[in-house]
């Protein structure tokens, strides 16, 4: 499962962090937070539309859903909350990159 999550994170990494920080902002609507939680639960759930044990198709449906779902959710985040989320994500990623070099 952790290998699968690592592959998914590499494909949509920064946007996941931005969505995380946007959902933590009180200005973000509850419906958007709920949609983000449901998207995350679908990705980590063993119950999928296409089973994960199918060679490549099991991963493709999760990646496709994330690649389409996360940008769609970020479009509905209020502008000031999205700016704050981008700044927080940039700060986190700069600290992580500094620690690896």
Question: Model confidence over 36-76: pLDDT tens digits?
Answer: 999 999 888 877 777 766 767 777 787 788 889 999 999 99
The residue to which tokens 């500094």 are assigned: 98
Q: Count other Cβ atoms within 10 Å, centred on residue 22.
A: 26
At residue 3, the pLDDT reads 66
> How much is the average pLDDT of 18-40?
95
How far, in Å, are 8, 15, 34, 50, 93 from residue 38 at the CA level?
16, 16, 6, 17, 25
At residue 82, the pLDDT reads 95
Quick one: tokens of 13?
A: 């990494």
Of the two residues 54 and 30, the one the predictor is more confident about is 30
At residue 85, the pLDDT reads 95
Cα–Cα distance, 93 to 85 (Å, whole number):
12
H helices of the chain, in order, are: 2-24, 30-44, 57-75, 79-100
């Amino acid at each position: 499962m952790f290998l699968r999550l690592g592959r998914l994170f590499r494909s949509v990494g920064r946007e996941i962090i931005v969505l995380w920080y946007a959902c933590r902002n009180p200005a973000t609507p509850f419906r958007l937070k709920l949609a983000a939680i449901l998207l995350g639960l679908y990705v980590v759930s063993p119950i999928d539309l296409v089973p994960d044990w199918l060679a490549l198709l099991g991963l493709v449906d999760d990646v496709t859903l994330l690649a389409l779902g996360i940008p769609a959710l970020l479009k509905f985040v209020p502008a000031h909350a999205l700016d704050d989320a981008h700044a927080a994500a940039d700060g986190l990623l700069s600290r992580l990159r500094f620690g690896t070099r």
